[in-house]
A and B are shown apart, each in its own frame.
Chain A
């Protein structure tokens, strides 16, 4: 089983619909992240959480919300999906270090908003 699991792997939805992307991890890490990947733009940080009671906005949080239900679970919601939210979404985890804190990514969720 993957250490960082994202569901669903693919989702097609319509403009205006509410949608939730889920992420669970078995690595025991406190720190979790949601990134979005658009072609030609690399990955951009949407939200991050350094522990269960900590939620922070990233670079592109508008139109998104998150919930950290437990150490192992971090979900991303689009309250009212719009077509420019069509992208590949990655969940990731890390553990605190003083040096190079490596991200462990899930396999991604391809979201299409029609």
Chain B
């Protein structure tokens, strides 16, 4: 079974509008972490945001926020005020277990390609 599911292969958004990229996860471990990475056409992987399973508040990093709904096992990425430079592939990823023990052993979703229209 898929541990990380991103159901939107591609998304379009108008510049300056907000967009939500969906991510659902599956784990029985009470301790886990959720990550979002951005991959522009140049290929590099850029860290965007992190949410720990015990974090009480939704994570935010500038224009990025993570809508964490633990009971639904979802960790959607919200990008506010989209910019043309946001056009890229976006990956949701999960670390099962505590960070100190599991480190960067991440399970990635299939990705969502976001296109921002002027």
Contact = CB atoms under 8 A, between A and B. Distances in A.
Contacts of A102: 35, 47, 50, 104
Which of under 10, 10 to 19, 20 to 34, or 35 or more describes the interface residues of B?
Answer: 20 to 34
Interface residues of A, number: 28
Contacts of A97: 99-100
B25 interface: no
Interface in A76-114: 88, 90, 92-94, 96-105, 107-108
B85 to A, nearest CB: 18
Nearest to B45: A105
A73 interface: no
A54 B43 CA distance: 29
Contacts of B93: 42-43
A103 B47 contact: yes
Contacts, number: 75
Nearest to B92: A42
B104 A99 contact: no
Contacts of A96: 99-100, 103
A99 B106 contact: no
Contact of B105 (A41, A45, A93, A99): A45
Contact of A44 (B35, B47, B100, B108): B108
Interface string A28-63: 000101000000111111001010000000100000
Given A100-B50, A102-B50, 18 more contacts: A42-B109, A43-B93, A43-B108, A48-B104, A88-B43, A92-B45, A98-B100, A99-B99, A101-B103, A102-B47, A102-B104, A103-B106, A105-B44, A105-B45, A107-B43, A107-B44, A108-B43, A108-B44
Interface of B: 4, 33, 35, 42-45, 47, 50-52, 91, 93, 95, 98-100, 102-106, 108-111
Interface of A: 31, 33, 40-45, 48, 50, 58, 88, 90, 92-94, 96-105, 107-108
